[in-house]
Amino acid sequence: MDFNPNATLNGNISSAGGPGGGRGGGIIVGGAGGVVMLVLALLFGVNPFSGGQGQPAALDSSQCSTGADVQTNRDCRWKAYVTSIEDFWSGRLNGYTSAPTVTFTGQVDTGCGTASSQVGPFYCPADKTVYIDTAFTDQLLQQLGAEGGDAAEAYVLAHEYGHHVSDLTGQLAKAQASGNQTGPTSASVRSELQADCYAGVWFHNVAAGNDPILSGVTQDDINRVSDAAQAVGDDRIQKATQGYVQPESWTHGSAAMRHKWLETGFTTGDPGACDTFSTNDLGQ
């Protein structure tokens, strides 16, 4: 995947300042619209509030103005992803309103509570903002055996913006209203699969060569995106963290389900194909 050197990067992304804000408040936990990769804290066995020691400086994309800047400052790629994803949805969804991405290291205060990196990247409906610890996200993908790379990173972000799209269309609120049930056909899983599908729709547009920012999608990129989606499947994560699979506690869906819906979005390029709430065929 290439970054068009002449593309303007005006994406809505900023940094939440330094690590270790000093507040030891409750860690947020996901509802349907919340958290991807929540259980990964278990995988690392770390204290989410251990402070900022040894953490990298927060990502700074304030100097990123064109695609060419990605070559000299790799941090700029995140601004490129945000610009691409938001450009796409603002052209595709009537009434789309921008959601900022806030990068952080360690922990961050949000409209949904105080969150640590260990919850993984997430979308907070209360302040309509995407939060991501970019270094930690790369580490998570690696720990889960995903190949990673630019396209995989972009998919993770596109998934979070998928939640924003579901929020704007009212589907997220409906899912959250049905409570905190878990399991393969729960509203939470349907909501997550919809976000995967929307990420696929965006990626379809990039792969088709229609994106002003990103181009040159290869089969390897497509494989890496698919690989990342499957690596964060509940069954994979449960196997890695507890050694067995417990479908009744799923919140995001299995690797096969996540792959199915990413693929549905990717092959159709049609957000209308992402109605995970009114089908009985979610995959297995």
Q: What are the residues binding Zn ion (CB under 5 A)?
A: 36, 192, 195
Smallest gap from residue 160 Cβ to Zn ion (A): 7
Residue closer to Zn ion, measured from CB, 86 or 192: 192
Smallest gap from residue 71 Cβ to Zn ion (A): 31
Q: Do 100 and 130 touch, CB atoms closer than 8 A?
A: yes
Residue closer to Zn ion, measured from CB, 69 or 260: 260
Which amino acid does the sequence have at 189? V
Burial class, 71, CB count within 10 angstroms (exposed 0-12 / middle 13-18 / buried 19+): exposed
Residues in a beta bridge with 129 = 124
Which amino acid does the sequence have at 143? Q
Which residue minimizes CB distance to Zn ion? 36
Smallest gap from residue 251 Cβ to Zn ion (A): 9
Residue closer to Zn ion, measured from CB, 21 or 265: 265
Smallest gap from residue 7 Cβ to Zn ion (A): 27
Residue closer to Zn ion, measured from CB, 60 or 127: 127
Smallest gap from residue 262 Cβ to Zn ion (A): 12
Distances in whole angstroms, Cα of residue 281 to Cα of each of 47, 175, 190, 212:
39, 17, 11, 35
Residue closer to Zn ion, measured from CB, 34 or 67: 34
Residues in a beta bridge with 15 = 103
Q: Do 271 and 198 touch, CB atoms closer than 8 A?
A: yes
**Tokens read off for 165:** 């799209």
Q: Do 262 and 196 touch, CB atoms closer than 8 A?
A: yes
